[in-house]
Amino acid sequence: MAVSHLTSPQSVDAFKNTPVKTKENPEKAAQEAGNSFEMMLRRIVSVAQASEDKESASKLAQKRIDALMDESVLDMMDENPEETTPEEPQPFLMPRVAQNDGPPPEVSKKQQVEKAYGPRATKGDFDSIIEKASEAHGVDADLIRSVIKTESGFQAGSTSPKGAMGLMQLMPGTAKDLGVRNAYDPFENVMGGTKYLKRLLDRYHGDTPKALAAYNWGPGNVDKNSGRMPEETRNYISRVTRHYRDIKT
């Protein structure tokens, strides 16, 4: 068999056009392609060795081998590149929050009032509330202001050592009896405190000093021990009266 027949362009084209099913089984296809290429090389070499003109046959065989590699194998590799699976996109992860982080602490009504009015609030900050309470319960607005000035100094978030709360320093039991749900709310506090003051004024038939004494000391004590009023209560009445007089003048 002649070398030119085995390594003719027709033979190369036949090898080059051999279908390779790389997508179905890439490893098997690569193995079959390698085996076919190796078989062609062996045939080319064996024919060259059998030729009488070994030098010419050897040169021709080398050219055909180069042609096979350049035109067939490399083309086949380009046409069937190794398939790779793209990496799946990683989801975006939010930064982790510390385990002890939670919702912000709830701000109490007392803290809201303190922030709104500050430690140096004046009667002017609560004028509209005082006027409404005065109109609702029929109590002199300036008397309400004088009680607030004496009780809390217009500090809506204040609490006494005994537990009295807010502008008019309502005790928890008294606030509950008056229907005051939040004693640190200026509106609720003044409305409730004025309502209580009105009850005392009615109880003592408009006697303001006695009503103030009952507001500070308690109506039960005033009823039973009016002749033994403590100094604290007497001072309380004096201070409220002085503030009231200062407002009026």
| Among 100, 114, 239, residue whose Cα is nearest residue 185 | 114
Q: What pLDDT score was predicted for residue 192? A: 98
| Among 149, 134, 122, residue whose Cα is nearest residue 245 | 149
Residue by residue, pLDDT tens for the chain (249 residues) are 444 444 444 544 544 454 544 445 656 655 665 566 566 666 766 665 666 666 666 666 666 666 666 555 455 555 454 555 556 666 545 455 455 556 667 777 777 777 777 766 776 889 999 999 999 999 999 999 999 999 999 999 999 999 999 999 999 999 999 999 999 999 999 999 999 999 999 999 999 999 999 999 999 999 999 889 999 999 999 999 999 999 998
Secondary structure tally for the chain: helices H, strands E: 13, 0
CA angle 10, 43, 38 (to 5 degrees): 95
**Angstrom distances, CA of residue 34 to CA of 15, 22, 76, 78, 117:** 12, 13, 11, 15, 90
CATH numeric code, 109-248: 1.10.530.10
Q: Report domain extents, the chain.
A: 3-79, 109-248
Active-site amino acid positions: 151
Q: Does residue 125 contact residue 154 with C-beta atoms inside 8 Å?
A: yes
Q: What pLDDT score was predicted for residue 60? A: 65
Q: Which amino acid is located at 16 in the chain? A: K
* Nearby residues of 157 by Cβ (< 8 Å), 6 or more positions away: 110, 111, 113, 114, 117, 166, 184
Q: What pLDDT score was predicted for residue 117? A: 73
Which helix (H) or strand (E) segment holds residue 132: the answer is: helix 127-137
The C-alpha atoms of residue 156 and residue 140 are separated, in whole angstroms, by 20
Residue 159's DSSP bridge partners are: 165
Q: What pLDDT score was predicted for residue 57? A: 61
Q: What pLDDT score was predicted for residue 227? A: 86
